[in-house]
Amino acid sequence: MRRYLRLYLQFLQFSFSRAMEFRLDFFFRILMDVIYYIVNIAFFKVLYARTPMLAGWNERQTMLFVSIFLVIDAINMTVFSNNVWQMPTQINNGSLDYYLTRPVSSLFFLSLREFAANSFVNLLMTMAILVWALRLNMELVTPLNLLFLVPLIANGVFLYYLLNMVFIIPVFWTHSGRGFADLFHSFTRFLERPDRLFTGIMRLILTVVLPLSLIASFPARLFIDGFETGLFLHLTLVTACFAGFMTLFWRKGLASYSSASS
């Protein structure tokens, strides 16, 4: 464990020094994410000009949902995104060999090697948006609620990563440029909307089969509507199942990996 921590600190140091080499890009990326936040907030602001409630939430509560989603997205962009993005190329051109021969878990190395230092600044900004949204919903804020929000967000980030990986791993067999990453990108629209919008079979899909609604919507619901044992168990059970499934899937992929010819 200590070895992995030491290694991760090395990753951090390397990533920050590299980010500072490309200063202009550093600022462009910050600006890019700021626009993304504005777009997401403005989207719901325009909708709430037409209705007082949406999917059981008023505007203030939806802003809390949006801010939770933005924090989860920012952590994912900072910690995992760059690494997952590069994986199909590494699998296709055989550079995965390098990671397989290291004396650490290949999944750990590949998933966490690059820390997006520029997104880290954006992560701080999303935290500020979360604080703003919490201030809009002061009646919901208690020390216990806040403490509980931290593992819920962590779970959302982890689930986001797991689902993203499930769409990347097929590249071991398809050998296409990006695997099904673009498909996952299209599906992320579901996680940007409150889960109670979806009913029937779509709800089942989004909460069990492809649990995108569990990433940000369930944490927001547990915070806004109060703790619900069933909801919490659902969240942890589905995340655990997906963690197991992704690990198995990754091993299957590695078993059929044949270096540069892949």
Partner 1 sequence: MSGDKFGADFRDDLRAYAAVLRQVVSLELRRAFAYRVSFWLRFLGGLFANITVAYFLWRALFAESGAKIMAGFTFEGMILYYVLVPLIGGITRNSTEGSAIASEIYSGTLTRYLVYPMPFLLYRFADVMAAVIVALLQLTIMLSAYLLIFGIPAGIQLTPSSVALGLIAALGACFLNFLMVSTVEMVAFWADNVWSLNVMLMFSGQLLGGALLPLTLFPAEVQRYLQLTPFPYLMSFPVQAVMGKLSFGQWAQSCGRMGIWILILTVLARVVWRRGQRSFSGVGI
Q: How far is the CB of 256 from partner 1 (least distance, A)?
A: 17
β-pair partners for 54: 57
Q: Does 199 bind partner 1 (CB under 8 A)?
A: yes
51: contact with partner 1 by CB under 8 A: yes
- Contact between 187 and partner 1 by CB under 8 A: the answer reads yes
* Under rule CB under 8 A, residue 55 binds partner 1: yes
Of residues 43 and 227, the one with the C-beta less far from partner 1: 43
Does position 248 bind partner 1 by CB under 8 A? no
**Among 10, 13, 105, 186, contact with partner 1 (rule: CB under 8 A):** 186
Nearer to partner 1, 151 or 177 (CB): 177
Identity of the residue, 202 or 237, whose beta carbon is nearer to partner 1 in the bound complex = 202
Report yes or no: 117 and 15 within 8 Å, Cβ to Cβ. Answer: yes
Smallest distance, Å, CB 21 to partner 1? 8
Applying CB under 8 A, the span of 61-69, 125-133, 183-191, 238-246 interacting with partner 1 comes to: 183-191
Q: Is 3 in the site for partner 1 (CB under 8 A)?
A: no
Distance of CA 60 to the CA centre of its chain: 23
Task: Residue 79: name the closest of 1, 163, 24, 8 by CA.
Answer: 8
Question: How many C-beta neighbours within 10 Å does residue 80 have?
Answer: 22
The 8-class DSSP code of residue 50 comes to T
**Burial state string for 42-71 with b = 16 or more CB within 10 A and e = fewer than 16:** eebeeebeeeeebeebebbbbbbbbbbbbb
CB of 248 to partner 1, least distance (A): 23
Q: Are 77 and 119 in contact (CB under 8 A)?
A: yes
Angstrom distance (rounded) from CA 182 to CA 9: 31
116: left (phi over 0), alpha (psi -120 to 50) or beta: beta
Residue list 107-126, contact with partner 1 (CB under 8 A) = none
Residue 201 interacting with partner 1 (CB under 8 A): no
173 binds partner 1 (CB under 8 A): no
C-alpha–C-alpha distance, residues 86 and 168, integer Å: 10
Instruction: For residue 20, state whether it binds partner 1 (rule: CB under 8 A).
Output: no
Give yes or no for residue 221 binding partner 1 (CB under 8 A).
no
- CA 137, CA 221: separation in Å to the nearest integer? 13
Among 109, 190, 249, 250, interactor with partner 1 by CB under 8 A? 190
Task: Scan for tokens 């719901």, then name that residue.
Answer: 44
Instruction: Give the separation between CA 54 and CA 44, rounded to whole angstroms.
Output: 10
Q: Give residues in contact with partner 1 (CB under 8 A).
A: 22, 24-25, 28-29, 31-32, 35-36, 39, 42-43, 46-47, 49-55, 174, 176-178, 180, 182-183, 186-187, 189-190, 193, 197-199, 202
